[in-house]
C-alpha cells in the first residue's frame, strides 16, 4: 500500500518512524517547512532534519530534535566571539546545515538536497519538503508579528499566539513530487503534529484544497492531544488563545474538512460522540509514543482503520 504522511515536529517524526518500519519502500513523508529560516548564513530546516534524524535513528532521544551525542563546541566559541547562540546548532548538526546551504547555493532545490541527505542516511523512503520556496510562518503576539523561531525558541513559546500567517503560501504550490505522492497514495496519514504550526502551513499552499479533494486515498489523522495536554510543545496554549476546545475535540474541529478518521487516545473516549457529530469517524487507542514499538503499533492502527 502506498502511503503519504504529512508531518512536522517530533510527533510527526515519531509516527513516520513507525510507518517506515512497516512500509520502508512505499512511504512518502511530506514535511512542513514553515519553520525554516536562515542563521549564520546557513539554511536551517528543523522539521526536515527532525524527521531525517528520527528515521535514521540518529535523533537525540530526549529532545526529539538534533543529533544524539552532539556537542556544542562551535556554539561555545561563537558565544566567546559575541555571536548569536539563542538557537543552538550542535557540532554534528552543523554538517547537515553546511551540506544543505552549499547545495542550495549551487542551484539544487530543497527537494533534491533532502533526497540526497535521505540517501546518505541510508533511507529508502521518499522524504519531501512541502514546497521548494520559502513559506515562513509568522505569529502575531500581543507585541506584534514575530518570526516562528523567535516565538518558539528565543521566547520559549511562552507568549499567547493571537494569529498565524503562512507568508507566501497562497502563491507557492506544493512541489511536483508532493503532488505525485498525494495523487498516488492509497492512504494519507496526518501525523500527530501541531495543526497550526505544522499542518496548516501545508494546507495553505496554493491549490492544496483542490489537490486534496482529488486524492482518492482514505485520510486518517492522529490527534496530538491527550486529555487537555499536548504530548509536546505549545499546542494546548495555541488552542486556548485561538479559541478552540483544549482537547481532541478542538483538533477534530480544525481537521474535520481534511480527514475521514481521527485517532485519539483511549483515555479520551468520552469525546467520541461529539467528534462523530462533526462527520468524522473517531477511533480510540493508546496514542503516546514512548518506544519504537509504540510508534509501530500506532502506525498499524493508522494504516488499518
Residues that bind ligand FO1 (CB under 6 A): 8-9, 35, 46-47, 49-50, 65-66, 87-89, 93, 149, 152-153
Judge whether 201 and 32 are in contact, CB under 8 Å.
yes
Of 180, 135, 218, 207, residue with least CA distance to 28? 180
Half-sphere exposure for 16 (CA within 13 Å, toward CB): 34
What is the distance between the alpha carbons of residues 195 and 200, in angstroms, rounded to a whole number?
6
Q: Rounded to a whole number, what is the largest CA-CA distance in the chain?
A: 58
Q: CB neighbours (10 Å) of residue 202?
A: 27
When the beta carbons of 224 and 271 are compared against ligand FO1, the nearer one is: 224
When the beta carbons of 126 and 193 are compared against ligand FO1, the nearer one is: 193
In angstroms, what is the minimal distance from the CB of 128 to ligand FO1?
Answer: 17
In angstroms, what is the minimal distance from the CB of 139 to ligand FO1?
Answer: 12
In angstroms, what is the minimal distance from the CB of 150 to ligand FO1?
Answer: 11
In angstroms, what is the minimal distance from the CB of 300 to ligand FO1?
Answer: 25
Enter the C-alpha cell of residue 290. 514512548
Using the 8-state DSSP alphabet, how is residue 243 labeled?
Answer: T
Beta-bridged to residue 42, according to DSSP, are 39
In angstroms, what is the minimal distance from the CB of 97 to ligand FO1?
Answer: 8
Which residue do the cell numbers 513516520 mark? 16
b (16+ CB within 10 A) / e for 208-239: beebbeebebbbbbbbbbbeeebbbbbbbbbb
When the beta carbons of 89 and 280 are compared against ligand FO1, the nearer one is: 89
In angstroms, what is the minimal distance from the CB of 153 to ligand FO1?
Answer: 4
The rounded Cα 189 to chain-centroid distance in angstroms is 12
Separation in Å, CA 262 to CA 6, 102, 245, 276: 14, 41, 16, 9
When the beta carbons of 148 and 208 are compared against ligand FO1, the nearer one is: 148
In angstroms, what is the minimal distance from the CB of 70 to ligand FO1?
Answer: 10
When the beta carbons of 147 and 180 are compared against ligand FO1, the nearer one is: 147
What is the distance between the alpha carbons of residues 215 and 207, in angstroms, rounded to a whole number?
13
When the beta carbons of 191 and 302 are compared against ligand FO1, the nearer one is: 191
Phi and psi at 275, nearest 5°, equal: -70, -40
Category of 56 on φ-ψ map: left (φ > 0), alpha (ψ -120 to 50) or beta = alpha
In angstroms, what is the minimal distance from the CB of 292 to ligand FO1?
Answer: 20
When the beta carbons of 185 and 230 are compared against ligand FO1, the nearer one is: 230
When the beta carbons of 69 and 216 are compared against ligand FO1, the nearer one is: 69
Of 11, 299, 234, 264, residue with least CA distance to 255? 264
Look at residue 224 and give its three-state secondary structure: coil
Amino acid at each position: 500500500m502506498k502511503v503519504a504522511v504529512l508531518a512536522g515536529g517530533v510527533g510527526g517524526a515519531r509516527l513516520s518512524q513507525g510507518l517506515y518500519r512497516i512500509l520502508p519502500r512505499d512511504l512518502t513523508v511530506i514535511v512542513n517547512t514553515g519553520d525554516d529560516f536562515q542563521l549564520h548564513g546557513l539554511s536551517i530546516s528543523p522539521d526536515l532534519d527532525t524527521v531525517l534524524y528520527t528515521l535514521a535513528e540518529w535523533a537525540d532521544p530526549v529532545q526529539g530534535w538534533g543529533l544524539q551525542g552532539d556537542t556544542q563546541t562551535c556554539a561555545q566559541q561563537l558565544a566567546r566571539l559575541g555571536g548569536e547562540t539563542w538557537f543552538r546548532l550542535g557540532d554534528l548538526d552543523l554538517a547537515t546545515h553546511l551540506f544543505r546551504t552549499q547545495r542550495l547555493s549551487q542551484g539544487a532545490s530543497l527537494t533534491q538536497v533532502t533526497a540526497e541527505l535521505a540517501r546518505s542516511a541510508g533511507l529508502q523512503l521518499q522524504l519531501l519538503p512541502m514546497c521548494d520556496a520559502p513559506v515562513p510562518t509568522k505569529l502575531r503576539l500581543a507585541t506584534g508579528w514575530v518570526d516562528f523561531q523567535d516565538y518558539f525558541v528565543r521566547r520559549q513559546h511562552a507568549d499567547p499566539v493571537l494569529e498565524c500567517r503562512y507568508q507566501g503560501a497562497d502563491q507557492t504550490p506544493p512541489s511536483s513530487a508532493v503532488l505525485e505522492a498525494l495523487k498516488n497514495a492509497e492512504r494519507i496519514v496526518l501525523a500527530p503534529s501541531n495543526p497550526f504550526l505544522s499542518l496548516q502551513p501545508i494546507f495553505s499552499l496554493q491549490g492544496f484544497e483542490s489537490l486534496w479533494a482529488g486524492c482518492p486515498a482514505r485520510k486518517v489523522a492522529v490527534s496530538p492531544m491527550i486529555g487537555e495536554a499536548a504530548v509536546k510543545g505549545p499546542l494546548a496554549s495555541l488552542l486556548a488563545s485561538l479559541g478552540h476546545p483544549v482537547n481532541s475535540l478542538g483538533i477534530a474541529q480544525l481537521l474535520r474538512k481534511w480527514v475521514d478518521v481521527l485517532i485519539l487516545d483511549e483515555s479520551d473516549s468520552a469525546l467520541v460522540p461529539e467528534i462523530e457529530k462533526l462527520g468524522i469517524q473517531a477511533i480510540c487507542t493508546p496514542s503516546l509514543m514512548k518506544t519504537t514499538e509504540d510508534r509501530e503499533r500506532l502506525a498499524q492502527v493508522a494504516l488499518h482503520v
